[in-house]
Chains A and B, each alone.
Chain A
């Protein structure tokens, strides 16, 4: 958290330098630059400039294709539920149509939970929601090979706050192209 005020690009060099510089206080030190090398995984679909980090996703997508990706890329869920709410069926169908017409495009379904309950269990809940979306898409005819699931559980809240309004915005599945 000490690195917050500085550009992320400096964080690797800083963490190594700092730990070397402060090494008299103990033996722990950063062992790898990997820690800061992970790129944003799409979150709410606004992190496109950073790419997906694994060679999938945006790499083969042209600008005109990008324009065709359905604009609404987040759907929401009820507490402790993974059922698709009727108001989001049209959103899912639009994505299904897009993915079918772009068979070389892959999507990562990012599953999220609200903060209540334990973290590892919430990873399971987030995955369940993403799987429900995956099932909907494959039933509509999307190839399973175009879909990957990553559950973030409660680790990436869209909104902070201990009220139902915040929780409702955090229980979500995000389409990250």
Chain B
């Protein structure tokens, strides 16, 4: 053990350095035609800091698909406050909005002063001072992005959220699996579990404090819940057969799951405090991938009771299940939009597996992605984007698409397969 510890100590620095390089990077693959032009002027004194706040804000807004930041080289001047702005200059550049600001170092703390200006109305929409430590600069930038996004779109920004995901490298018996949590832009990734047995289906508790997931670490699948702040974890289930697809109820007190202990995989609901288990479905088919409606009154799940996988809705009041999807021969892994009006899912057509949206009032399905190996869609807490797993060459990568399909980006990883993304709820 002594030796192990010595090894660990000597490798510690290398691994910390390595972690920084393992970040997922962002690649915008499709910009929206509707994107709003916005000029984000590099903040005064911002270029020499460990994090470039203006660039992070610009990247956040661009990634959302709703904004098109002007390229830096086309900025004709660099005002740092509204008093220095000549609105006509920015009107000529056809920029609808303008963000200016400056950063002051005050005894080790950073004072970030920024303003959001309406170029055509020639007025200030937002002005704020954010105080930030050196380590918080990225978080502060995401906070500013959230404020700008909400002020212009009326929708709460989701740039200060996180994504959990699973990585895997190797083949056959020799695969290393890990569960990680990163900022929504792929930065600050932290591994929270590693195993030489499969890990899948991470699911955030509604308060963002815990992850439920499936781990095969004992050689059999079990559902675990891990507290992210303390690292404490419990194994909730280890029934014979499948222990899969954990899904939190909106109040965080129950987990829906798929268990095959009675034969076929069926949907169950477990009360987390008492561990009481209630079986919901009774079918001679695969019933899995449950997801609670935001109002907590029903669940959707995947079942192949019709002969191929389709999405059904189970009403907790009546105990009845109705089929929701009828377009195509493969629809699975449904996820609700936060307002409960639409579901996102994986659908198969002649070219492969894509992320699709079905609006529940019209039952119309729209395929959102043109990639062919998509799975595991997970919706941002503000409903504007869906993150999913897909393939690039033979590698698993994460992609994201706007809820209307108009914009998309990729988060390629430097090594291994990345899959099973789960977008966190709002974290404050």
Contacts and interface: CB of A to CB of B under 8 A. Distances in A.
B192 interface: yes
The DSSP consensus for interface residues of chain A is: loop
A4 B171 CA distance: 13
B226 A34 contact: no
B231 A46 contact: no
A90 interface: no
Interface in B179-217: 181, 188, 190-198, 200-201, 215-217
Given A13-B7, A120-B289, A161-B394, A38 B241 contact: no
Contacts of A15: 191, 194
B258 A120 contact: yes
A137 interface: no
Interface centre among A11, A21, A31, A157 (most CB of B within 10 A): A31
Contacts of A53: 218-219
Nearest to A30: B231
B69 interface: no
B353 to A, nearest CB: 7
B246 to A, nearest CB: 10
A118 B233 contact: no
B230 interface: yes
Interface in B358-388: 373, 375-376
B18 interface: yes
A17 B190 contact: no
Nearest to B16: A22
Interface in A83-114: none
Interface residues of B, number: 83
A119 to B, nearest CB: 5
A2 B265 contact: no
Contacts of A28: 181, 190, 192, 228-229, 231
B420 interface: yes
A11 B8 CA distance: 9
B220 A54 contact: yes
A19 B191 contact: yes
Contact of A3 (B175, B194, B197, B265): B194
A117 B309 contact: yes
A127 B265 contact: yes
A3 B169 CA distance: 10
A78 interface: no
B19 A18 contact: yes
Interface centre among B192, B197, B227, B302 (most CB of A within 10 A): B197
Interface string A1-19: 1111010111101111111
B298 interface: no
B178 interface: yes
Contact of B172 (A21, A39, A43, A150): A43
Given A27-B228, A150-B220, A118 B302 contact: yes
A146 to B, nearest CB: 14
Nearest to A31: B231
Contacts of B194: 3, 11, 15, 30, 35-36
B233 A32 contact: yes
Interface centre among B170, B286, B420 (most CB of A within 10 A): B286
Interface string A31-62: 11011111111111011000011100000000
A157 B171 contact: yes
A26 B173 contact: no
A123 interface: yes
B160 to A, nearest CB: 13
Contacts of A160: 171, 394
A10 B15 CA distance: 13
A22 B12 CA distance: 9
Given A30-B231, A43-B173, A123-B242, A155 B216 contact: yes
A21 B196 contact: no
A31 B233 contact: yes
A29 interface: yes
A116 B420 CA distance: 14
A158 B171 contact: yes
A119 B200 CA distance: 8
B286 A1 contact: no
Given A14-B11, A117-B332, A155-B216, A2 B373 contact: no
B346 interface: yes
A26 B188 contact: yes
A14 to B, nearest CB: 5
Contacts of A119: 200-201, 375-376, 419-420
Contacts of A17: 5, 8-9, 12
Contacts of A123: 221, 242, 244, 265, 288
Given A19-B191, A38-B195, A119-B376, A1 B244 contact: no
Nearest to B181: A28
B333 A121 contact: yes
Given A53-B219, A117-B353, 20 more contacts: A4-B169, A4-B416, A8-B196, A15-B191, A17-B5, A34-B233, A35-B194, A36-B195, A36-B196, A38-B196, A43-B172, A54-B219, A119-B419, A120-B289, A123-B242, A124-B260, A127-B260, A151-B221, A157-B172, A158-B172
Interface of A: 1-4, 6, 8-11, 13-19, 21-22, 24-32, 34-44, 46-47, 52-54, 115-121, 123-125, 127-128, 148-152, 155-162
